[in-house]
Structures are given as C-alpha cells and as structure tokens.
Chain A
Amino acid sequence: MSSNTYDTRRILKSQKARLIGRNIIIHEVVESTSSFLKDALTRGEVSSGAVAVANIQTKGYGRFKREWVSPRGGIYFSFLIKRFKRDITPLTLVVAYSVANTIHYLTGIKPSLKWPNDILINGKKIGGVLAELVGDNLICGIGVNINTEQTALPEELREKATSVFIETGKKLDLTDALLNLIQGIDKNLTIYKNKGFLYFRDRWLSLCPRWHDVIYSKIGKEKTVSLFHDISETGTLIIVDEDGKKQLFSGEISYE
C-alpha cells in the first residue's frame, strides 16, 4: 500500500466511542473537510465525534478563508463536537499542541508553536488549526503537511511553508499518522475537558521558542512591536509594549 493513501479498513476498525473518532468519513477529494462537516451537520447526517478526512482539498481554508493549499501527501481532517462542556476558546491551542506532540512522537523532530495555533518546523509552517462555532457545535479543521513534496507547494509559499518530508527526508505512513493525530487530539481534549487549559499552558510554552522574545502583533490594521510576555490561563497572549501589559484575544503575530 502506497504511503500516500489511507488504509480505509484499518481506519474504520479504529472507530471507538470517545470524544472524537467515533465515525470517520474518508474522501478522496473534498472542497474542505470543515465545510463538508458543516453541510452534513445541517442535514443532520453526522453526530458528535465525527471526523472527516480528505486526501486532497480543493478549497481548504485557513484564517479568514485564506486558501490552505492542500495537495496529496498532507493530512486534512476536521472533527465535530456538539455541546462541548468547557470554554471553547483555548481549544485550538490544545489541538495545535497535540498535533505538534504527535509529529514529535512520529518523527523525533520537535516542532515549535506560534500563537495561537501554527505548527512550525525550522521556522516554517507545517500545519494549522482553525475552529468554527456553529450554534453550540464546534467544527475544528486541521491541516498538516506530512509527505508533501516541495514541488507540490506553490513557489510563493516555499519560503514560509514546508512539510515533515521536506524537513526530515522521511515519508510517514499516512494511516499511522492520521490515527495518531486523531487519538492524540482525543486524549488531549479529554484532559482539557477535565483539567482546563492550565494543564497545557506550560507544555504549550515549552514548544514556543519565542517566549520572552520581541514580536510584532497585528490586530485589524494595527501593527505593534512588543514583548511576548506570557500565555494566560485562558490561552490569550500577554504582550508588553510601551503602554504596559496587554492581552490579545485575536490577531496575528510575526517575529520580524
């Protein structure tokens, strides 16, 4: 079996009653796994814990519908949780931490995290997390460049984006990687549900090399230079600039 497709039987056998991964739906091509789940939810066809996976996304999207280029070789999936019983806001940080942890476990290489939820290797992005709340239903999408060849990434992205394969020379078995990612997120979300974000705060920061470094933050059109001071108990970014300490709930940060 080629490492760039999924072993459907193995994946279906892995389905268990837990927070996510109860029902795994695999697509060859889909516009976006999150929009698929959203539509399926509207039609009442999926229940809590469903996971949608695709080999290729034609309209994968990142923050504010920016395109997330999704060629074969990457892992693209979304999960649905209905009525999650905790503050949902820090959840994307928990998911990003979990993805980084799984990549570390699978490759021996420790990715780093960029607030709120970018996953990087050698300073380039390999993955991202994006969540949407539709009523009290949470849909969370994850894209990770795993076996993606450099030629599959658009030229203009090669400075900023990379894949596990490009950085390590190793190709992973996608089925293995997917199941580890799903089960890792399931485990961490269960911990989050019971213990809250405080459990993850230091773990998240341990993967963030820019803690206490100078960063640029951009909210709306406003760009300011500040010091990355801390991550709060609720996952917000605490920065210090000339006016003092500030808490960021949204926006983007960059290092230069």
Chain B
Amino acid sequence: MNLKNIQKLIKLVEESDIGEIEISYFMGRRIRISKHPKAAPQPQERREEKVEEKPAPPPEIDENIEEKEGLVSISAPIVGTFYRAPAPDAEPYVKVGDHIEEDTVVCIIEAMKLFNEIKAEIRGTIKQILVENGQPVEYGQTLFLVEPD
C-alpha cells in the first residue's frame, strides 16, 4: 500500500465534512479513516485502525525521530507478541524515564509460546515506548526510543 496515497486520502477526509470513511478496496486493502481524535478504542474497528497505523513501520520515519532528538531505538529481534511485564499483574520491566543498562530486560516477545527476554543492549534512558502491551510486532519494528548516556 502506498503511503502517499493514504496521506492524500487522509488529507481529503480532513478537508471534507466527512467524519469517517471506509473503503473496502483501496490499493488492495480495506481502510477506514476516522476523524475523531484519539477516540476511545472501538473493538469492532480495530482492524481498520491497524491499517491506519500501518504506515508507521517504514524505517525512514524512525530514523527521522532518531536524528531529530538524538534517540536510539531498540527494535524487535523477532516477530511475535510484545509484552511489557513478565505477568499480567506484574510491574512492567521498564517505564518511560527508567535508566537502563545493556543487559536490562526491557520486554518479552513471545512466538509460539517461546518467551524471549529482550535486553536493551544499550545504556541510556527510556524516552518513549512505541508498542502497547499484547500487540503483535514485526521483525525490526521499533519498540523503545532511548536517549543514550
């Protein structure tokens, strides 16, 4: 799916009176664009929301952030489900503002019931956490932004 085309579409929606648009076939995908700013997550629309978010992964966006703010990313070494804590009721491994060492475990990624503890491999301070607990992550997807020491 072409990022520019989606951006065009978003702009069209923004400039119009349309609150929400759903196209069942757009560049081979289904897409829904909704104007409600940060509306509460609506479960039945999650698929389309995901499509909206899809443009995020391209690496150039991440690089921009890094260049601008001097931040370094910790990215997913494998594909799977991202978990911030060792158990649902446990404290997250790291929070924004936490100082981390190279061997600090920052999260778990699960693939086929194999739980991989992911280490920071960098010293610094967590500035941003880009993935929600329980969300699937792709190979190389940025999980955390870190301000190196």
Counting CB contacts under 8 A, is A131 at the interface?
Answer: yes
Nearest CB on B from A34, distance (A): 10
B111 sits at the interface (CB 8 A): yes
* A65 near B88: Cβ-Cβ < 8 Å: yes
Which residue of A116, A130, A219, A235 is within 8 Å of B115 (Cβ)? A130
Which chain A residues in 190-219 approach chain B with CB under 8 Å? 219
Whether B113 sits at the interface, judged by CB under 8 Å, is yes
Q: Which residues from chain A contact B55 at a C-beta distance below 8 Å?
A: none
Q: A220-B81, A249-B79 are in contact. Are A64 and B87 (CB under 8 A)?
A: yes
Give the size range of A's interface with the partner: 20 to 34
- Interface set, chain B 29-80, CB cutoff 8 A to A: 29-30, 43, 46-47, 50, 78-80
Kindly state the separation between the CA atoms of A134 and B114 in the bound complex, as whole angstroms.
Answer: 11
Q: Are B47 and A250 closer than 8 Å at their CB atoms? A: no
- Residues on B with C-beta less than 8 A from A91 are 114
User: Hey, which chain A residues are within 8 Å of B111, CB to CB?
Assistant: 89, 249-250
Count chain A CB atoms within 10 A of each CB in B80, B110, B114 and give the residue with the most.
B114
Pick the residue among B46, B87, B113 that contacts A221 (CB under 8 A).
Answer: B46
Is A90 engaged at the interface, CB distance under 8 Å to the other chain?
yes
Does B148 belong to the interface (CB within 8 Å)? no
A117 near B113: Cβ-Cβ < 8 Å: yes
Give Cα distance in the complex from A128 to B113, angstroms. Answer: 10
In chain A, what residue has the closest Cβ to B112? A116
Determine whether A45 belongs to the interface, using a CB cutoff of 8 Å to chain B. Answer: no
Chain B hits for A126, CB < 8 A: none
Is there contact, CB below 8 Å, between B113 and A219?
no
Tell me the interface secondary structure of chain B in the complex. mixed
Structural contact, A243 and B29, CB atoms closer than 8 A: yes
Q: Which of B101-149 contact A (CB under 8 A)?
A: 110-117, 132, 134-136
A221 to B83, CA, bound (A): 13
| Min CB gap A204→B, angstroms | 12
Contacts of A249 in B (CB 8 A): 78-81, 111-112, 136
For B30, the chain A residues whose CB sits under 8 A away are 243
A93 close to chain B: CB less than 8 A: yes
Question: Is the Cβ of A132 less than 8 Å from the Cβ of B114?
Answer: yes
**Which chain B residues have a beta carbon within 8 Å of chain A's beta carbons?**
29-30, 43, 46-47, 50, 78-81, 83, 86-88, 90, 110-117, 132, 134-136
A/B interface sample: 22 pairs, CB < 8 A: A63-B113, A64-B87, A64-B110, A89-B112, A93-B112, A116-B113, A117-B113, A131-B113, A132-B116, A132-B117, A133-B114, A133-B116, A133-B117, A220-B134, A222-B47, A222-B50, A224-B47, A235-B112, A236-B112, A250-B80, A250-B110, A250-B136
**B-contacting residues of A (Cβ < 8 Å)?**
63-65, 88-93, 116-117, 128-135, 219-222, 224, 235-236, 243, 249-251
10 smallest A-B Cβ distances: which pairs? Answer: A65-B87, A250-B81, A116-B112, A220-B134, A131-B114, A249-B79, A249-B111, A250-B80, A132-B115, A133-B116
